Amino acid sequence: MDTTRKDSLASFWNGLSLKSSEVIYIYMSVIIAATILWLAWTSASSYFRTRARGQLPPGSFGFPIIGDTVQFVLAIGSDVGYRKWLQKKIAKYGPVFKWSFQGMPVVVMDPPGGHKFLFQNEGKLLETYSPVQMVSLWGDDSIVLQLGERHKLLRRHLSRFFDHASISRYLEGVNRNVVQHFSRHWADKEESEFELVPFDVISLYTFSDICNLLMSLDEGPELESFLKEFLKWQNGLLCLPINLPGFTYYKALKARKSILRILGEYVKQRKREVAEGRVSERAKLDILTNLLTVPNENGNLLSDSSIYDNLLMLLVAGFSTTSSALAMTIFYIGKNPEVYEQLVKEHKSILDRKREEGKDDVLIMDDLSAMRYTWQVIQETLRLQPPVGALFRRTTMDCEYKGYAIPKDWKLMCNIVNSHYDLNCFNEPMTFNPSRWEQPPIPFTFMPFGGGQRTCLGIEFAKMQMLVFIHHLVRRCRWSVTDPNETIIRDPVPRTQKTIKITSVAMSA
């Protein structure tokens, strides 16, 4: 990759986040305000105590009104910070404890029992809950905010884009996209050795994959500036919800407006093409044309705002989580040369078999099934660095868990990170060990894709994207990390910021 390209990618990423300084400034202001609000909070806490019909979980609501919000937002900036925050709480209060986030009581549930309780009771005792800043960023019609029957109807409508038949259809396009991506960003023919920051480059691939799937858009400068808006949008998900100029949340809301404006142009143009009967063969198969022309099971087409909110949701879901998972997989492989060697064996044997059968080397679904070890490596990465660190639900009635009373309207938190590092769930949880996946995990301990009624819709698509990418990477490159002890940041998904050193190789069958 040439220096200009590297520099422009670096500045592209550097301009995007200011969070720590903002948080310190807010922290000071908030401490002053908190003292004034102490009395109000004390009476609120006693309200919760008297209202509950039993013993509340142990824990503390922290500072008045803001609770632990600031500490939490600071802690989740890094992988280690987040785990330390949790471990401190668990050591003090035990695995089920209460705390307060944005002025609301939250109960952290223990794995696996608490997670089972959380995922099996959705729609009965619980419903989904998103912190206040997420609600305005997602938009009212996004699937992630829908409840009950509306959620089920929309989920069934969107599911048809992610079933096995659809995934098999997408494989050819994803494969083509990966090959183009490598020739543009990785395999510089004049240099056999080069360096890059995986997450930065991979986001361009995953974003163009999902834009292609949704709206038949190809990688290029237009897509890069669209991606920039998404990154600003995504920074708002886990920041403090302060809508004032200069703050992350303000920038994220502005980014949402630009994203909707850009989406609006694409949707209008496609509507015109549909009306005039001149949709291209390629665009006929994409999700946008389907959403505009195929009614749901009640015979209704989605409203415009539902189309915008759900396109936005799928665009975000489809690039940031997968970019993180892939970039972190590459990091762990770079740290563990023996894992790389085993991957080479697996992918070489797939190519050898295809050659023996007289087939070309283009991947088909059966080849993906043969990538067992590759999937184990990805699963192990998702265990250590789950892109989504926690999920929240809201109690819709008073309920009880392990003898603790949990009042109506409290929030329950499934702490994905914590469960993946729990000694009762995984042996030697700190060790990167892909072969642990020879055995299935204990139910409700491995939750990178969530669970229950809201399990990730895109699992199979993400799995395909990641397997295809690693296949092409291992065929072309050998690499090592520049700093094996690098701090992994969460922004909001886990990623590293330092380069990996790559040597081009050519795997022959």
Closest approach, Cβ 134 to ligand HEM, in A, equals 10
Residue 307 interacts with ligand HEM (CB under 6 A): yes or no: no
Calculate the dihedral angle through the C-alpha atoms of 61, 65, 67, 69, rounding to the nearest 10 degrees: 150
Half-sphere exposure of 98 (CA within 13 A, CB side): 21
| Cβ atoms of 1 and 194 closer than 8 Å | yes
Which residue's C-beta sits nearest to ligand HEM? 458
Residue 155 interacts with ligand HEM (CB under 6 A): yes or no: yes
Q: Which is nearer to ligand HEM, 325 or 470 (CB)?
A: 325
Q: Tokens 């785990």 correspond to what residue? A: 83
Closest approach, Cβ 147 to ligand HEM, in A, equals 10
- Three-class secondary structure of residue 196 per DSSP: strand
| Cβ atoms of 95 and 105 closer than 8 Å | no
Q: Which is nearer to ligand HEM, 61 or 117 (CB)?
A: 117
Beta bridge partners of 390: 415
Query: Over the range 10-23, which residues count as b (16 or more CB within 10 Å of their CB) and which as e?
Result: eebbeebbebeebb
Residue 217 interacts with ligand HEM (CB under 6 A): yes or no: no
Residue 66 interacts with ligand HEM (CB under 6 A): yes or no: no
Closest approach, Cβ 122 to ligand HEM, in A, equals 8
Q: Which is nearer to ligand HEM, 462 or 489 (CB)?
A: 462
Q: Which of residues 413-442 bind ligand HEM (CB under 6 A)?
A: none
Closest approach, Cβ 211 to ligand HEM, in A, equals 11
Closest approach, Cβ 55 to ligand HEM, in A, equals 28
Q: Which of residues 252-291 bind ligand HEM (CB under 6 A)?
A: none
Q: Which is nearer to ligand HEM, 263 or 325 (CB)?
A: 325
Q: Which of residues 438-467 bind ligand HEM (CB under 6 A)?
A: 448-450, 454, 456-458, 461-462
Q: Which of residues 376-405 bind ligand HEM (CB under 6 A)?
A: 387-388, 391
| Cβ atoms of 175 and 483 closer than 8 Å | no
Residue 128 interacts with ligand HEM (CB under 6 A): yes or no: yes
63 Ramachandran zone, left/alpha/beta (phi>0; psi -120 to 50): beta
Site track 310-329 with ligand HEM (rule: CB under 6 A), x = hit? ----x--xx--xx--x----
456 labelled binding-site residue:
yes
Query: Over the range 302-318, which residues count as b (16 or more CB within 10 Å of their CB) and which as e?
Result: beeebbbbbbbbbbbbb
Closest approach, Cβ 107 to ligand HEM, in A, equals 17
In this chain, which of 143, 197, 384, 502 binds ligand HEM, going by CB under 6 A?
143
Tabulate helix, strand, coil % of the chain (nearest 5). 60, 10, 30
Closest approach, Cβ 303 to ligand HEM, in A, equals 18
Largest CA distance in the chain: 78
Half-sphere exposure of 289 (CA within 13 A, CB side): 18
Q: Which is nearer to ligand HEM, 67 or 318 (CB)?
A: 318
Q: Which is nearer to ligand HEM, 64 or 318 (CB)?
A: 318
Closest approach, Cβ 359 to ligand HEM, in A, equals 28
For 371-420, what is the HEC assignment? CHHHHHHHHHHHHHCCCCCEEEEEECCCEEECCEEECCCCEEEEEHHHHH
Closest approach, Cβ 203 to ligand HEM, in A, equals 13
Q: Which is nearer to ligand HEM, 229 or 309 (CB)?
A: 309
Whole-number Å distance between alpha carbons of 412 and 407: 11
Whole-number Å distance between alpha carbons of 395 and 105: 11
Q: Which is nearer to ligand HEM, 453 or 497 (CB)?
A: 453
CB atoms near residue 168 (< 10 Å): 14
The DSSP H or E segment spanning 128 is: strand 126-128
What's at 502, amino acid-wise?
I
Q: Which is nearer to ligand HEM, 41 or 199 (CB)?
A: 199
Closest approach, Cβ 219 to ligand HEM, in A, equals 17
Q: Which is nearer to ligand HEM, 52 or 202 (CB)?
A: 202
The DSSP H or E segment spanning 172 is: helix 164-185
Binding residues for ligand HEM, total number by CB under 6 A: 23
Length of the chain: 509
Which parts of this chain interact with ligand HEM (CB under 6 A)? 128, 143-144, 155, 210, 314, 317-318, 321-322, 325, 387-388, 391, 448-450, 454, 456-458, 461-462
Bind-site residues: 456
Bind-site residues for heme: 456
